Structure 1
Amino acid sequence: MLEQLLPALKQTFGYDTWRDGQAEIISATLSQRDCFVLLPTGGGKSLCYQLPALHLPQVTVVVSPLMSLMKDQVDALIANGIAAAFINSSQSREDILEVFAQLRRGELKLLYVAPERLLQPSFLARLSEVGVSLFAIDEAHCVSQWGHDFRPDYMALAQLKQHFPQVPMMALTATADPGTQQDIVQQLGLQGPLIYRGSFDRPNIRYTVQEKFRPLEQLLAYLKQQENNSGIIYCSSRRKVDELAAQLQERGFKVAAYHAGHDAINREQVQDAFKRDDINIIVATVAFGMGVNKPNIRFVVHFELPRTIEAYYQETGRAGRDGVAAEALLLFDPADIVRMKRWLEAEENPERAEVARQRFQSMASFAEAQTCRRLVLLNYFGEARQQPCGNCDICLNPPTQFDATETAQKALSCVYRVKQNFGLHHVIEVLRGSQNQKIQEYGHDKLSTWGLGKALSHDYWLSIFRQLIHFGLLQQDITQHSVLRLLPAARPILRGEQPLMLAVPRLQTPQKSSAKPSQQQYDRALFARLRSLRKALSERDDVPPFVVFSDATLIDMCQKLPTDNAAMLAVSGVGYTKLSRYGKEFIQEIGDYLANSVTSLLE
């Protein structure tokens, strides 16, 4: 049966081969078996139910949590010549009745719907009349109370097995630890399911954690390296989102803010402008979440520490869904840990509070790690790896250690001299010999430690103090305005009885490294021209640019340089429908570029 599907894989979706797991999952689905599918974002989950849907006799119902996500997926399916529709509250009554009419006539292969509407008795009755071949539960981690984005409406989906006992169900997610995986299978009542757990690894994403000193300056330096690429910047509060978006707009970036405090119309306009490449950057809270169906996001920045590794993994996973090189930058201030622990104390359910604390501690450990970032992520999700990835900040620029005994003694002595009654920045100002009013009022300019560290910058000392806190030599007392306190482990360092090695502070924004050569060997000038053509065609057809072709497809064109239909069909992501719709224009653009290149060489 799978051999019969290969032509459709190429003709409809434009791919020559299966990705990992797809053949096994599709085969089980066509045998009417339940499936649990864990694949990373960009790993080809959607194809696992979209391709079988073309060959199943009745409609495939896809449960999706967000209206914007439904629309994007339906637009992409229609662009590939597949009969698909959605039903949600954004539609008029007439639009919904027309979709129901298409269902009755057997014209639809896929129908996208939210769980709340799906479980309405009248909706279930209509589905019973027309018949269903498959239920696909997307973002299935929403089912589990242990999932990072639990939604009560998803739990009720277990009712589907009562109403449609013979219809197979496929649960799909990119983000679930072992406990959440088991809970999904149990909550949905999957019966003897095929369980496919793909790798969590996203090798095209480069993970970088940068210590936060002057966050706006660090962010601006990073964005200047991005060359107008699409990206998301996550902040923890609405106030910070609006403030940062305004600061970036003032500096000429094409950026917009997105959070739940904005009205629905504004949020929809911002998301639409981002999908259509009219703006490059979204500054958002996590409200800008699962509805992001834009494969050419090249970077994700976390301006503050996320609450869980699951959230961090899913949010960074929105970068590089097309498989092209992408980056994830986390700006980390250890003080975020203290603030987050305070927030966690508000959780009233003791069991959930304990789980939340454990998950946050894992996130904090990731940020503070001195080992390969990818290894920390993969081992957290139960994917045992020992080999460093070679594509994170730790692998590309390993921390340099130095004998910091004398430096630490200066820092610790200064905390002692100010009687352990002052915070981090005041102690640093004393060390650096500041003459500010507060230091003079307290007579701290008379201390023996005043000016001992003037040769080093404020940011350098900030990194040193953070490491001393991390190593358990100092503590910030949150009950007393975060004043610094000496801990017992500091005593042997102060007495010179024990040496101390610390990491050399990294104070500069790391320069943009070239990504893996296999992902970057293509003509950038031609790519820019093809991207401009894609934008023009998307505006003509009133669809987002990625619905025309993904960045990965444009890169493959730049590498293969197709100048006729047969060569264009050999490009990954080009099927017969896309060829007939867009092939002529792209072949013409490539031909003109090659001709101009030859002319330039001859002149």
Structure 2
Amino acid sequence: MLKTLKSYFGYTSFRPLQEEIISCVLQKKDTLVLMPTGGGKSLCYQIPALLTEGTAIVVSPLISLMKDQVEALQNNGIIARALNSNNDETANANIRFECRQGRVKLLYISPERLLAEINYLLKDIHISLFAIDEAHCISQWGHDFRPEYTQLAVLREQFPHVPIIALTATADKITREDIVKQLAMRDPQIFISSFDRPNLSLDVKRGYQQKEKNRAVLEFITRHKGESGIVYCMSRNTTEKVADMLEEHGVSTAVYHAGLSSTIRDKAQEDFINDRVQVVCATIAFGMGIDKSNVRWVIHYNLPKSIESFYQEIGRAGRDGLPSDTLLFYSFADIIMLSRFASESGQQEVNMEKLKRMQQYAEADICRRRILLNYFGETMDHDCGNCDVCRNPPQRFDGTILVQKALSAIARTGQQIGTSILIDILKGTASADVIERGYDKLKTYGAGRDVPARDWQDYLLQMLNLGYFEVAYNEKNHLKITEAGKKVLFGHEQAQLAVIKREEYPSKTTRRKKKTEHPAPAPVIPLAFEDEDQSLFEALRALRKKLADQQAIPAYIVLSDKVLHLLASSKPTTIEAFGEISGIGEYKKERYGKDFIQVIRRFTSS
């Protein structure tokens, strides 16, 4: 496994969980993998594919995603192909011929195309494994549900002995269970990697008017001079307005949304991937197919509809592990608009609950990273120091008794209530629901009447974000006490809550009188590589661009920014030393070593 990793991908060690996952797939066990964007999911099926006889079939939802992955694999000397509608029929016929000859190691295919080929090509070839990428698309609870994915259970019927590996960067507990069920997975091994991306800074700005917002966006982009980034907007109209504003200020920008022709969208994506534009302004239609490792920042011009969407979108920054910044704006107008979308959707309850959690993230006054991780079932016992809340911390107090009162009320109702009834019980409000269910007889009825209902809302939001209870949205949004909550409830641990500070939205007149004070912006963390020669880095970047243009592939597929930084700091002057750099495999060493060594020697000898 390690030999294959070094030879093809240029790494000498695995990231957490990769080795265990690969072993599991090699033992032909069904496997479900949850790993954050940029966490190294692809290697989990690519290495088993290289170590096993036959062709691995990779089901992927987007043509752009397939193209990116196939180009990257081919550039590592691996025979990979994509069978899709973007190819002409001659190209697809050639790919089928290569597959039947057993030459293709990885075949990327859309779910629709897979179903069309299932009784033809797939029956004629030796399949080593099925990898279902973006597996959350299969679940109706997932944030990006795709009906065509639901027919994939046919793989288990038709190929009972071929292992299935399902991979996703975002799936809560309910979505995970649904993926296993929909794919008819047999006793799957489930691997959940840490969702922590410590290299991403997290900032939220609330209640900004449009002019202030535009000013803040321009300031932010100025601090990221020449660095690639994405601005996500809620509507098509906004993407165009923001792009025009940026262009007026000299920032090269492309627009991407579903209202544009596929030609214009493809051009926007290609221009961004190939560094011909610095920024892309997009609706959420953009990005799932982007594997660009050097996106340095992501701005959300509006509130996203769910934490899953938000997490996946910010995850497009800093995939190379280098420091990257994220900024989220939101206002009441966003919440009203998104609530309308959610209530008009086919899954009103689920979408409203997910929006509520997104809003809670934006309004929170505890470490934002802890909230994100908690949403994906992961607890962190310290604040991150790399979000706006950590940089401007609120005051705290011992809220153990408040937490115990709330959790006790949840426990005494058999964990069968939502937040509004819980607040009625704590306040001692004789509402129809409370009386009908006999909750007015509970010991905790009225135990929190001294706290205003609005404050209870806030404290419960903090408790949820601290991971003391979770919301089961497949059980009428009932509150369920977690293990962390039980420790506080039974007096084994204390709970620190934040003092509530009400942030009012200033009226226009107040705003004119007094400019609203905003927290200091997140510092841009410099990319620190010891002894790096900046002018050598720029020369290597120019060479990479030239080589990429010659092959008509994105520059980061030749070598990533991280590899260029390593080259500019360690300055290898022999082909062998070049091949020792992390991220350079045998194929890249042979193909590019001579060119890069030439540039480095020029700098070291001068």
Same fold (TM over 0.5): yes
- Map 1:160-309; keep pairs closer than 5 Å: 160-211=155-206, 212-213=208-209, 214-309=212-307
- Structure 2 residue 18 is matched with structure 1 residue 22: yes
TM-score, normalised by the number of residues in structure 2: 0.78
Of residues 93, 97, 102, the one that matches 1:101 is 97
- Structure 2 residue 122 is matched with structure 1 residue 127: yes
Structure 1, unaligned runs of 5 or more: 402-466, 473-498, 597-603
Query: Contact 1:225/1:512 (CA < 8 Å) preserved in 2?
Result: no
Distance 1:516 1:20, change over 3 A: farther
Output the CA distance in 2 between the equivalents of 1:299 and 1:400: 30
- Structure 2 residue 315 is matched with structure 1 residue 317: yes
Q: Which has the larger radius of gyration?
A: 1
- Structure 2 residue 143 is matched with structure 1 residue 148: yes
Amino acid at match of 1:562: P
Q: What displacement does 1:593 show?
A: 2.5
Q: What displacement does 1:362 show?
A: 0.6
Structure 2, unaligned runs of 5 or more: 397-453, 460-498, 505-514
Q: What displacement does 1:370 show?
A: 1.1
Query: Contact 1:144/1:150 (CA < 8 Å) preserved in 2?
Result: yes
- Map 1:388-399; keep pairs closer than 5 Å: 388-398=383-393
Residue matched to 1:384: 379
Output the CA distance in 2 between the equivalents of 1:517 and 1:70: 30
Output the CA distance in 2 between the equivalents of 1:275 and 1:516: 23
Q: What do the CA deviations read for 1:298-333 (whole angstroms, capped 9, x no partner)? A: 101000000000000000001111111111110122
Q: What do the CA deviations read for 1:158-191 (whole angstroms, capped 9, x no partner)? A: 1110110010000000100111111101110110
Q: What displacement does 1:289 show?
A: 3.0
Of residues 562, 565, 581, the one that matches 2:575 is 565
Q: What do the CA deviations read for 1:33-91 (whole angstroms, capped 9, x no partner)? A: 11000111111110011111112111000000011111111001010000110110011
- Structure 2 residue 587 is matched with structure 1 residue 577: yes
Output the CA distance in 2 between the equivalents of 1:346 and 1:503: 30
Output the CA distance in 2 between the equivalents of 1:386 and 1:521: 35
- Map 1:514-525; keep pairs closer than 5 Å: 514-515=524-525, 522-525=532-535
Output the CA distance in 2 between the equivalents of 1:508 and 1:524: 34
- Structure 2 residue 601 is matched with structure 1 residue 595: no
Q: What displacement does 1:100 show?
A: 0.6
Match of 1:297, SS state, is coil
Q: What displacement does 1:528 show?
A: 2.4
TM-score, normalised by the number of residues in structure 1: 0.79
Q: What do the CA deviations read for 1:331-366 (whole angstroms, capped 9, x no partner)? A: 12233222322332213x4xx211111111110011
Q: What displacement does 1:553 show?
A: 1.1
Deviates more, 1:499-508 or 1:20-29: 499-508
Residue matched to 2:331: 333
Q: What displacement does 1:501 show?
A: 5.0
Residue matched to 1:345: 343
Amino acid at match of 1:23: E
Residue matched to 2:57: 61
Match of 1:386, SS state, is coil
Distance 1:346 1:586, change over 3 A: same
- Structure 2 residue 127 is matched with structure 1 residue 117: no
Residue matched to 2:77: 81
Query: Contact 2:370/2:383 (CA < 8 Å) preserved in 1?
Result: yes
Q: What displacement does 1:517 show?
A: 7.1
Residue matched to 1:412: none
Query: Contact 1:141/1:184 (CA < 8 Å) preserved in 2?
Result: yes
Q: How many residues align?
A: 496
Query: Contact 2:458/2:500 (CA < 8 Å) preserved in 1?
Result: no
Query: Contact 1:234/1:285 (CA < 8 Å) preserved in 2?
Result: yes
Distance 1:506 1:49, change over 3 A: farther
Distance 1:159 1:519, change over 3 A: farther
Query: Contact 1:298/1:325 (CA < 8 Å) preserved in 2?
Result: yes
Residue matched to 2:478: none
Query: Contact 2:300/2:328 (CA < 8 Å) preserved in 1?
Result: yes
